[in-house]
Amino acid sequence: MPRSIASILAALLGSLLFLFLVAPIAQLVATAGIQGGERLATDVELRRALGLTAATATVATTLGVLGGTPIAYAIERWHFRGRALIAALLDLPLLIPHPVAGIALLLVLGRDSVLGQAALSIGLRIVGSPAGIVCAMLFVSAPLYLSGAREAFARVDRRFEAVARTLGDHRWRVFRRVTLPLSGRGLVAAAVVMWARAVSEFGAIVIITYNPKTASVLSYDRFTSFGLREALPVAAILAVLALLPLTVLRALRYDRRPGLDVAGARG
């Protein structure tokens, strides 16, 4: 195939894929974006759902960062038997259908489970509560943070860590003063990805906690109860709000200056 024909074909296929990915969201925002903005001022249930979604996603992301950072560091830096298997198991929630993830969580955290009964004994109800939403968000989105954090640690030049150790710093001090600053941008980007994924989750949440409703569940509920017309404003608001974490993520990935990370670590 001549090079010019191949270039034209590649450009055509790329343009078709671009339109396929962009056109539905653009049409959604163009059709109901203004109406969705107006609904924010008058629809109490929508505001409550958006607030619940943001709050639970933030809690889930915080838990994922606190628990996932040491796991990602250990998998990336330490070599031990079963390392590949553990990494694969941690990625597994990304591959299973999310309603299946919700069913699995229901088995572990439901009222008849050991953990569910233990939680109820101390007054904590997981299923049908914001705690259940946090659990569902954490389960489906934490693997994204773990993957991004491992990549961030992998990009840190180990020579800087070795120099710090030769100067007498112990492992925790090296991590805090060298590894963490050098990987900080990547860790923040991974946390943003996790938060965005948590906000958009539906399948696992609808199984373990239908009420109170997150924004995604509210959109589905209005579609099934009242039809497309009522679901459009909620869906448009979610599409517009999705631009916020994407903008932050792109800024973190592309607004990089040579030597910035190293200079920050030395400071």
Q: What is the CA radius of gyration of the chain?
A: 22
Helix, strand, coil percent values for the chain (each to nearest 5): 85, 0, 15
Query: Which pLDDT score, from 0 to 100, does residue 265 have?
Result: 41
Q: Encoding tokens for residue 99? A: 């309603």
Structure confidence at residue 205 (pLDDT): 96
Query: Mean pLDDT by 10-residue block, N- to C-terminus, for the chain (267 residues)?
Result: 79 92 85 76 89 96 96 88 88 91 93 89 91 96 95 87 75 81 90 93 94 93 90 85 79 55 41
Cα separation of 199 and 160, whole Å? 37
Q: Kindly report the pTM of this predicted structure.
A: 0.84
**CB 113, CB 104: distance < 8 Å:** no
Question: Tokens 């709050």 belong to which residue?
Answer: 55
CATH, range 35-266? 1.10.3720.10
